[in-house]
Amino acid sequence: MSENPGAHQIRFDIATMQPDQNDTIFALASGAGRAGIAVVRVSGPACRFVLETMAGRTPVPRRMDLCRLRHPDSGDVLDEALVVFFPGPGSFTGEDVAELHIHGGQAVVSAVLAALGDIPGCRLAAPGEFSRRALLNGKMDLSAVEGLGDLIDAETDMQRRQAMRQMSGELRNAVERWRGTLIDASAFIEAELDFADEGDVPDDLRERALALVVSVADDLRREIARARNGERIRSGLTVVIAGPPNAGKSTLLNALARRDVAIVSDIPGTTRDTIEVHWSLAGVPVTLVDTAGLRDSPDPIEQEGVRRARDRAQNADVVLSLRAFDSHTEHLRSPGVVVIPIRTKVDLEERGRREGTGADELALSAATGEGIDALVARLESIARDIVGDGGLVTRERHREAFAGALSALDRAISAGPDHPSELLAEDIRLAMRYLGRITGTVDVEDVLDRLFAGFCIGK
């Protein structure tokens, strides 16, 4: 343990209740557990002192150097490591940054982290604090930080591509383009206000300003219309398997998951609660949900299972409705929910009955695998139709900011020619303020704590 009792405690600035930016922070940036190599990241004003103290020197910037790491007090050798130094502001955080590439044994990692904590002014980083410093030092905007967080959490290729687009500035560039257009519109209105009596001021300044406002409003309306696409790529789709008892729901879940997830039994009502499996479908993350059999039952536990099944089905993106529709399953046809009727256990049917399959109905046997590939293909097609090509919006706060900006612009557009120029200018400024929330130029303090709380300690 460190002899410095405050070494590992996070100090906060009293005025802002944010972690002290004058501290030098450190953290394990690679995954925890036994590994060949572990990476420890250090950032802050004492970074060079840390290197001089533990490695004996500050390496040539951006060049790996083999150094012996020693404890700052005892001088004991902790490890032989590859050390690289990134002087600020040309680093990820904008501060002096060092990376210690050490051997990945738990004892080595613990010893190096403890030694760093014994150096005055150094402390363990808070979750996301490296990225937060990058934001505060102007190395990244808020939308890029969100893209970085999504990239770390990406589980499918489509999530990865969307996160890369956002991290590389696709959303920021669009927002800055719209803000630039609105600045031009605002300049026209201000000229009309300030120089209305001047003879050389054009008469059509308001019309030119409104034309720019309309162009931005149209773009925002289009992005809001497909906002759910990007959010679904990030959060995933929900596919619910529903139907009466013994319709083969659990067997179908196991077949799609390609492993035994749910208990399969001939006894009706075996599944009492929902069972979830995470799945990738055409690059889209999917939560596949098995539910209790839909039927009337005197058992209060089974009644609760049926209630949960109906609730999940009504809030799903896709419902696999087994064994056609009856009084218990007809309600699954909710607005916005894609329902695929499925006739199961066709391997037990007489061959002549298979000719009665409806146009939209799929016939399959989870036991033999018949029809499973056709079902997966149908689901992949539906998933691609639902998410489309994504969009700029990936989070609810983006959609809310776009909606706020559009509301202000629509108010300016619909006010008519008698609308006072002062109010028109204020609506444009309000729209620009909403857009500024996307990249973090205004009103984001409450967003930062929620955002970085979900980051890794070393990021």
Position 276 scores a pLDDT of 79
Position 2 scores a pLDDT of 39
Range 244-248 average pLDDT: 75
Rounded Cα distance between 245 and 242, Å, is: 9
Evaluate if residue 357 carries a pLDDT over 60. no
Q: Which of 118, 128, 127, 112 is nearest to 8 (CA)?
A: 118
Give the annotated binding-site residues for GTP.
246-251, 265-271, 290-293
CATH superfamily name and code, 148-226+394-440: tRNA modification GTPase MnmE domain 2 (1.20.120.430)
Give the annotated binding-site residues for Mg(2+).
250, 271
- Any idea where the domains of the chain sit in the sequence? 12-139, 148-226+394-440, 236-386
Q: Contact, 91 vs 107, CB < 8 A? A: no
Evaluate if residue 3 carries a pLDDT over 50. no
Give the annotated binding-site residues for (6S)-5-formyl-5,6,7,8-tetrahydrofolate.
41, 99, 139, 459
Give the annotated binding-site residues.
41, 99, 139, 246-251, 265-271, 290-293, 459
Position 16 scores a pLDDT of 44
Confidence of residue 4 (pLDDT cuts 50, 70, 90): very low
Q: Which three-class secondary structure state does DSSP give residue 69?
A: strand
Give the annotated binding-site residues for K(+).
246, 265, 267, 270
Q: Which CATH class is domain 12-139?
A: alpha beta
Domain 236-386 has CATH 3.40.50.300: yes
Q: Which of 287, 290, 288 is nearest to 275 (CA)?
A: 290
For 238-254, give one letter per residue: b (16+ CB within 10 A) or e.
bbbbbbbbbbbbbbbbb
- Paired sense of beta strands 284-290 and 275-281, if any: antiparallel
Angle 367-369-371 from CA coordinates, rounded to 5°? 120
Position 19 scores a pLDDT of 57
Evaluate if residue 433 carries a pLDDT over 50. yes
Position 249 scores a pLDDT of 77
Distances (CA, A) of 52 to 59, 102, 109: 9, 17, 19
Evaluate if residue 328 carries a pLDDT over 60. no
What pLDDT digit, counting tens, does each position of 163-213 carry?
Answer: 999 999 999 999 999 999 998 888 888 776 655 555 455 566 788 888 999
Q: Which helix (H) or strand (E) holds 127?
A: none
Distances (CA, A) of 452 to 23, 86, 134, 317, 449: 18, 23, 12, 29, 6
- The rounded mean pLDDT for the chain is 80
